[in-house]
Each structure stands twice: as structure tokens, then as C-alpha cells.
Amino acid sequence: MAFKLKRNTVAGALGTVGFFAVWEAISSSGLVNNIMLPAPTTIVLSGWELLASGELLRHLGASLWRSLLGFVVGSVLAIAVGVAMAQLPLLNATINPLVQMFRAIPALAFVPLAIFWFGIGELSKVFLIAWGVFFPVWVNTYLGVRDTNPLLGRAAASLGARGWRKFAFVVIPGALPFIIAGLRVSLSVALVLLVASELAGAAFGVGYLIQMSQQVFRVDYMFVGLIVLGIMGVVADFLFEGAIRRLLPWYGAEKSQRGAVGNKKERKLAEPAA
């Protein structure tokens, strides 16, 4: 298992290095206009220039705050509404058509309306991010709570767990894998809407950096913004997964156990017959 993990890590590193090496070679060969496709070394130098001036940190700080606040607001509302709709059939019948209708509208379509309502300040950006984050988390929460195995509920009831105890110790833990999946998907949604909201109007932010770089024809700065967004996504996903495994040690344990059993069977089959 350790050898396989190490092999995959090395393969991933070689693939990444190879990609940037080919990019560097193409940009430096003269086959393409290196102003339109700057070399990775040029992008790194431009990124260092923005970092040293403090401009990149200002843009990054503004984007992180907006995306985090919008993600938290949208996720909390989505979990509350999803749980309520799954537990209260009358509420579900009342508002489900409206929620489904709004879910079908792309969040990007609300950019002009958000600016009209809230202006180009922080509120419009947080609103857009929260709106886009809401629906993936809501649908996963709703399905997770609704489809909790009824045998678990009956088993808990036979042991005396009813009311809020049954909800807190059976329903929510049973729905957690669905909720976590929705939250993880919404991380990337938050970044997409962050850029869209900042392109529509902002004084700082990674999306604003990309837009202003396009206006002054600094393609290298545009690539710096794009790479920063990619790094934000990777780091956010890594931190999210790490936090989940620390707070919920059992999460993913079944999968690891199945993998260990599978590896044991493979080794057993590979052993020569006596």
C-alpha cells in the first residue's frame, strides 16, 4: 500500500513537472507569441513582483474573505432548509417547487440582479457565492436526511432513543456523508462565483486582478491570477478533507478497510500454491 502511494505521488509530480517543462519549451521556442502565452518562468517572476509589492496579498485576502463568508452563509442555510424539508413533509410540499425552480436558474444569471440590488460592494459578492453554494449542499442534505436507513431509526427507538435524540444520533450521522459531499462540491462553486462577482465590479480580488490585467494587456498577470485561483481550490479541498478526517475519524474508514481487505486478498491470490 505504501509503495503504491509513493508510486502515485512520484507519477503525479513527474506529470506536473513534465507539463510545465513542455509549456516552457513551447513558449521559449518561438513557435507561439510568448506575450500571448508567457513561459512559466515569466509567470513566476511576475507573481513574485506582485507578491513583493503587496498587491497580490491584498487581492488574495479580499477573495478569501468573500468566498469564506459566502460559503459559510450558503452552507448553513442549505443544511437548515434541507433538514427541515426532509423532516417536515408539509413544508417540503409547500416550498419544494420554488426551490426546484430557483435551482434550475444558473447562479451566474443573478450577477446583474445582485449588482442592481446590492451595488458593487461586498454584499453582492457574498450573496452570489451563498446563492450558488446553497443548492448543492441543500440537495445533498435533503437526500441524506430523507434516505436515512429506517432500520437504524427502529433500532434506536428500540433502545429508547426518540425525538431529538434519534434525530441527533441517528438521522444526522446517517446523512453526514451526503452533507460532506455537497460541501465539497460547493467549494469549487464558490470559487467560480467569486470570480464572476469580482469581474462584475470590485476594487480588490483575484478576479479583479485578472480583469485589470486584461485591460492593460498583461497576460502574465492574468496567468498569475488563474494559477492563484487553482492553488486556492487545491488548498481549500485539502484543508476541508483534513478537517473532516480530524473531526470525524470514522469518515472514510470503511473505504480504507475495504481497500485493506482487497489488498490482503490480492496478496493471498498472488502467493504460489503449496
Residue pLDDT, tens place only, 149-165: 666 666 666 666 666 66
Contacts of 213 (CB under 8 A, 6+ apart): 219, 220, 221, 222, 224, 225
Handedness of CA 109, 233, 257, 247 (dihedral sign): negative
Residue 105 is placed in which grid cell? Answer: 436558474
- Report the chain's mean pLDDT, rounded to a whole number: 81
What span, in angstroms and rounded, lies between the C-alpha atoms of 229 and 109? 22
The domain ranges of the chain are 69-251
Q: Are the C-beta atoms of 223 and 43 separated by less than 8 Å?
A: yes
CATH architecture of the domain covering 69-251: Orthogonal Bundle (1.10)
Residue pLDDT, tens place only, 34-76: 788 888 888 899 989 989 988 889 989 888 998 999 999 999 9
Residue 188 is placed in which grid cell? Answer: 469549487
Amino acid at 198: E
Residue 204 is placed in which grid cell? Answer: 480588490
Mean pLDDT of 198-211: 82
pLDDT at 139 exceeding the cut of 70: yes
| Strand runs labelled E in the chain | none
pLDDT of the residue at 76? 94
Mean pLDDT of 125-150: 87
pLDDT at 78 exceeding the cut of 50: yes
Mean pLDDT of 254-266: 49
Q: pLDDT exceeding 70 applies to what percent of the chain?
A: 81
